[in-house]
Chain A
C-alpha cells in the first residue's frame, strides 16, 4: 500500500505511468472484492471503462489547465454537454467533470472495504485508543448497513445489470462511502446515484464520482440533518414566486407547498422523476457545471412547461398527480435542457448562494428546535452535540488520534485538494469521544447560548403555531358553518320549489274547475232560455188553442144558426111546395078558376098574380135541380142531411178559400141558390139576406183562414 502511495506522490507521472499504476490496482481490487467489474458491465461499457483509464489523467489535465488556457476545447466540450453526451463517453466524461483524477487516492476504497474485516482484528488495539469513537462508528455503520441492505433490492428493481453481483457492488460502494464520510453515512437516494454510476463506470471510479457528487456538489444535502436540501427548497420556492406568481398563488390556494413536489426532485436529482434520457441529460449539465444550479433551472423549466396545466387543477391531490405524470413524460430532453439553460440563465450560483444565506437561518432555527426535541428524547443528547459539532468541528478534532488510524492514506492525502474532506472524516470518527472526554467550558457556554436561543425561538414559534392553529380552526369552523347553512338553504329552496309546484297544480285545478263551472252555468242559462221560450211557445199555443176553440165555437154557432135557417128554409120550401101543389091542383081542376080568381082578385091580387106568374117560371127552371137535390136527401135522416149540408158547406167554403178567383163567380151561384131557397119566403127578405149570407161566408172564410194560420203555427211549434 505504501508503495502505491509513493507512486501517486511522484508528481511527474505521465499518461503512460498513471495507466500502469492504475491497472495493478484494478487487478488487486478485483481480487479483493471477489467479483470482477467486467461481469457487471455490458461489453461496450467495459470498452469505455478501459478508454477511460487512458484518458483519465488527461481529464485531470483539463481540470487543472482548464481555467488557464484550454478555452477552445472547453467551448467544444460545453456544446457537447448541452447537446447531450454520447452514451459511450458519458461515464468517462462524468468522472472528468467531477474530477476524480484529482480526488483519487489509491487503495483508499479497498482500505475502506477491508475496514470491516479489520475492525474485528484490531478492535482491541482500537478500543484502547478511542473506545467510544470506535463503538460509535461501528454502531452507525451497522445502522447504515441495515438501511443499505433494505435499499439494495429497492434500487432500480428489475434492472438486468443489478443482479447478485451488481447488488454486491452497490453494497460495497455505499458502505465504502458511509465509512468515508460518516457525517453523511448513508442516505436514501444515494443508492440510486450509486446504481446509476455503476451502470456507467467501474466500481472504484463510481465510488470516487459518488464521493465528488455528495461531498462537493451536494455538501450538507444528505447529511444527518439535510439542512442544505431544506434551504434549497426555500430558495426554489422564492424563485417560483418570483418567476411564476400566478402558479404560486394557485398552489397557495390549493394549500400545496412547492417543496412537497420539488423536494423529491432535488433529493433524487430527478432519477425516478424524469424519463431516463432526460435524467442523464440533466446530470450531464449538472456535473459539468460543478454546482447545483442545474437543479433549479430544470425545476423551473418543468414548472414553466406544466405550470399552465397545474393552474387548472382543483385540489392539491390533482395538482401533484398531474405534475408527477407530466414530469414523467418529459421525453423531449433537448427541449428541457435548452429551456433550463437558456430560459433561466439569470439563476446562477452567486444569486443562489445569496438566497441560501438568506434562508439558511430559518432552517437552522427549526432544526435546532427539532434537535432539542430529539435531545429531550435521547438521554445523552447526542443529536444536539452532533449539531454543535457540525457548526464548529475544528477545535474538537485531535489530529493525533486520526493519524494512527489512517496513516497510509493520510500522508498522500495531505497534498490533495480535498484534504479538508478527510479532516471531516476524521472528525466524524473521533469527535464524539472528544466531546465527552473534554467538557470545555467555552463549549459549554456556547452550548448554553444555543439552548437559550433555542428556547426563545421555540417559544416564539409555539406562539406562532398557536395562532396558526387558531386561524385554521376558525377557518374550519367557518367552512363547516357555511356548509351547514348552504345545506339548509338548499333544503329550503327545494321545499320552496315543491310548494310552488303544488301551488301551480292547485291553480291549474282551480282554473279547470272554473271552466267547468262556467260551462255548467252557460248550459244552465241555455236550458233556462230554452225553458222560457218553451213556456212562451206553450203560452202562445195555449192562446192559439183558445182562439181556435173560440173560433170553432163561433163557427159551430154560426153553423147551427145556418142549419136552423136551412131547416126553416126547407120547411118553408116544403110548405110553399105543398101550397103550390095545392094551388096547381086547384088550377088544374077548374082551369079558368085561377084566372077568374085572378081576375076576381083585387089589384093587390093582380100584383100577386104577376108574382105568381113569375114564380112558376122560376120554379120550373129550378125544379129539376131542386127535385134531384131533394130526392137525393129524402131517404136520409135529418142529421145526416145536416152533416151532409155542413160538409157541403165546408166543401164550398174550401172551394171558396182555395179559389179566390172563383169566388166572384160562385157568389152569384149561391145567390141563385139562396134565391131559390129564400124565394119561397119573400123576395125582399131574400134579397136582404143574401148579402147577409155573403158577409157571413166571408167571416167563415176568415175563420178558415185563421184556422189555417193556427195549423201553420202549430206545425211550427212542433218543428221547434
Chain B
C-alpha cells in the first residue's frame, strides 16, 4: 500500500519482481538497489528483499522491492507477497521464448492474487544478448499494448533501462495515487465518506481491471 510517513519519504511503494526462473530478476534488483551485477548470483529461495529511495515528480518515494523465486511451485508461497503490492515488474528473458510465453500465466497469477489496481510493467531483460534474441522487441511491445502494460527492454548487466523501468512504474503508481487522492478529496468535499464513495472508487478499479483483462 502507499503509506505516507512524515520524515524520510512521502510514499512507500511495495513492488514485486516476478517472472520465470533465471530471467534475471535478482540482478535487476541488485542493479537497481545497489548498482551491482553478479554473473554468478544465487538462486532465490522464497523471496529476497531490498529498498531504495528516489525522487519522482518532486516526491520522495521509498520503493520496497520483493524479489520472488521464479520456480513455478513457489507461486503458492510468493503469491502471499503480492498482498499490499502496488506495482509488479513482470520480467522475461528475451533469449528464451518460453519465459515470454509464460507472461500470460504470470498475468493471470497477478489478477488472481494481487490487488486489482496493481500497476504492472513488462520487462524484457538481457537485451545485451541481442545475438541470442528469440523474442523480438516488437512482440513484447505488442503484447504490452494488448494487455495495457508499460514495456521496456532492459539489461541488468549493462545497466540499461533498469533505472528507467523502475522510474516509469513508480511514476505511474504515483500518478494513480494522486488521482485517487484527488477523487477522494472531491468525494470528501461533497460529504462524509460513505459507502457510496467507496463504491465509486471500486467501480473505477473494476474498470481498470477489465481494461487489463480484456484480451
Contacts and interface: CB of A to CB of B under 8 A. Distances in A.
Contacts of A370: 75-76, 79, 112
A472 B115 CA distance: 10
Interface in B46-89: 46-51, 62, 64, 66, 69, 71, 73-77, 79-81, 83-84
Nearest to B199: A470
Contacts of B184: 476-477, 480-481
B77 A230 contact: yes
Interface stretch (A42-50, A186-194, A395-403, A614-622): A186-194
Given A478-B193, A483-B4, A263 B49 contact: no
B105 A377 contact: yes
A514 interface: no
A260 B188 contact: no
Interface string B100-112: 0000010010001
A222 B76 CA distance: 12
A324 B66 CA distance: 13
Contacts of A124: none
B187 A477 contact: yes
B49 A257 contact: no
Interface in A185-220: 187-189, 191-192
A477 B1 contact: no
A154 B41 contact: yes
A155 B40 CA distance: 9
Nearest to A149: B22
Contact of A188 (B4, B21, B64, B84): B21
B193 A154 contact: no
Interface size class of chain B, counting residues whose CB lies under 8 Å from the partner chain: 35 or more
Given A188-B74, A272-B42, A260 B198 contact: no
B144 interface: no
B160 interface: no
A373 interface: yes
A270 to B, nearest CB: 11
B80 A476 contact: no
Interface string A458-482: 0000000000011011111111110
Contact of A367 (B43, B76, B83): B76
Contact of B43 (A188, A223, A373): A188
Q: Is the interface of B mostly helix, strand, loop or mixed?
A: mixed
Nearest to A185: B73
A476 B2 contact: yes
A255 B51 CA distance: 16
A117 interface: no
A479 B193 CA distance: 12
Most A CB within 10 A of own CB, among B1, B7, B40, B48:
B40
B8 to A, nearest CB: 8
Most B CB within 10 A of own CB, among A230, A470, A483:
A483
A150 B76 contact: no
Contacts of B5: 314-315
A562 interface: no
Contacts of A469: 115-116, 202
A263 B47 contact: yes
B141 interface: no
Nearest to B42: A154
Nearest to A227: B76
Contacts of B14: 316
A229 interface: yes
Nearest to B22: A150
Given A188-B74, A474-B198, A480 B42 contact: no
Contacts of B42: 154-157, 272
A483 B3 CA distance: 10
Contacts of A226: 73-74, 76-77
Nearest to A474: B198
Interface string A239-279: 00000000000000001010110011001100010000000
A660 interface: no
Nearest to B4: A483
A709 interface: no
B158 to A, nearest CB: 20
B112 A480 contact: no
B69 A229 contact: no
A480 B185 contact: yes
B73 A224 contact: yes
A626 B7 CA distance: 126
A477 B45 contact: no
A483 B71 CA distance: 40
Interface in B111-125: 112, 115-116
A593 to B, nearest CB: 152
B115 A260 contact: no
A147 interface: yes
A324 B43 contact: no
A173 B184 CA distance: 58
Given A151-B43, A154-B41, A481-B188, A317 B51 contact: yes
A314 B8 CA distance: 10
B164 interface: no
A192 B43 CA distance: 9
Most B CB within 10 A of own CB, among A259, A367, A477:
A477
B142 interface: no
Contact of A187 (B2, B51, B64, B73): B73
Contact of B181 (A150, A224, A314, A483): A483
Contacts of B115: 469, 472
Given A260-B80, A264-B46, A267-B45, A315 B21 contact: no
B40 A317 contact: no
A480 B3 CA distance: 9
B43 A191 contact: yes
A352 interface: no
A473 B45 contact: no
Interface in B187-215: 187-188, 193, 197-198, 201-202, 205
B105 to A, nearest CB: 7
Most B CB within 10 A of own CB, among A259, A264, A318:
A264
Interface string A284-320: 0000000000000000000000000000001111101
Interface in A117-166: 147, 150-151, 153-158
Interface of B: 1-5, 7-8, 12, 14, 21-22, 38, 40-51, 62, 64, 66, 69, 71, 73-77, 79-81, 83-84, 105, 108, 112, 115-116, 177, 180-181, 184-185, 187-188, 193, 197-198, 201-202, 205
Q: Which 6 A-B pairs have the closest CB atoms?
A: A157-B40, A264-B46, A480-B181, A317-B51, A317-B64, A477-B184
29 contacts: A155-B43, A157-B40, A187-B71, A188-B44, A188-B45, A188-B69, A188-B71, A191-B43, A192-B43, A192-B45, A225-B73, A226-B73, A230-B76, A263-B47, A267-B45, A267-B77, A315-B62, A315-B64, A317-B51, A470-B202, A473-B202, A473-B205, A474-B198, A475-B1, A477-B180, A477-B184, A477-B187, A480-B181, A481-B185
Interface of A: 147, 150-151, 153-158, 187-189, 191-192, 222-226, 229-230, 255, 257, 259-260, 263-264, 267-268, 272, 314-318, 320-321, 324, 367, 370, 373, 377, 469-470, 472-481, 483-484
Given A154-B41, A188-B74, A370-B76, 6 more contacts: A154-B43, A157-B38, A264-B47, A377-B108, A472-B1, A479-B4
